[in-house]
């Protein structure tokens, strides 16, 4: 219980930058952060856009529709999307590029607001 209180206090009103949320580990981690630490101020998630989907479309389809969000979906009910979008900000970027591949305005915003960075991104090549 003492560890949970310490973590609650650590994440209280913090802004995070999380990468790798389209992968399995990243999805589970994002759900756990949202479920366990509802007092997190904001979570920027770095997402690469694809030619067939914008960053927000990828966030909704590849992340939010994942079964790992069922517990949070049940807990929040009809407020699920409002809760998630009040906390999570998908950002177009790429870890392989300079300054995360984000535009200069977004990079400045991240510099000013982010207090915690969690990297769960991986370079995966299925041969």
Residue 112 confidence (pLDDT)? 97
> pTM of whole model > 0.75?
yes
Whether 18 and 29 have beta carbons less than 8 Å apart is answered as yes
Torsion of CA 105, 111, 114, 118, to 10 degrees: 100
**Tens-of-pLDDT digits for all 127 residues of the chain?**
788 889 999 999 999 999 999 998 999 999 999 999 989 999 999 998 777 778 889 999 999 999 999 999 999 999 999 999 999 999 999 988 999 999 999 999 999 999 999 998 877 666 6
User: What angle (nearest 5°) sits at the alpha carbon of residue 19, between those of residues 41 and 24?
Assistant: 105
Question: 127: which 2 tokens?
Answer: 């041969």
Residue with tokens 């759900």: 31
pLDDT at 125: 65
Residue 121 has a pLDDT of: 85
Cα(14)–Cα(74) distance, integer angstroms: 25
Long-range contacts of 99-103 (CB under 8 A, 24+ apart): 100/46, 101/48, 102/46
pLDDT at 124: 66
Task: State how far the Cα of 66 lies from the Cα of 2, in Å rounded to an integer.
Answer: 31
Compute the distance between CA of residue 125 and CA of residue 14 in angstroms, rounded to an integer: 34
pLDDT at 52: 76
80 burial (CB, 10 Å; 0-12 / 13-18 / 19+) is middle
User: How far is 62 from 49, CA to CA, in rounded Å?
Assistant: 11
Q: What is the pLDDT of residue 126?
A: 65
């Amino acid at each position: 219980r003492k560890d949970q209180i310490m973590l609650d206090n650590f994440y209280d009103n913090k802004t995070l930058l999380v990468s790798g949320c389209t992968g399995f580990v990243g999805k589970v981690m994002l759900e756990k952060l949202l479920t366990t630490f509802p007092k997190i101020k904001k979570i920027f998630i770095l997402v690469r856009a694809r030619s067939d989907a914008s960053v927000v479309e990828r966030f909704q389809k590849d992340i939010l529709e994942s079964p790992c969000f069922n517990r949070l979906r049940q807990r929040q009910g009809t407020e699920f999307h409002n809760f998630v979008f009040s906390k999570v900000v998908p950002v177009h970027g790429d870890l392989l590029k300079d300054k995360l591949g984000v535009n200069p305005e977004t990079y400045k915003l991240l510099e000013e607001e982010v207090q915690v960075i969690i990297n769960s991104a991986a370079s995966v090549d299925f041969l």
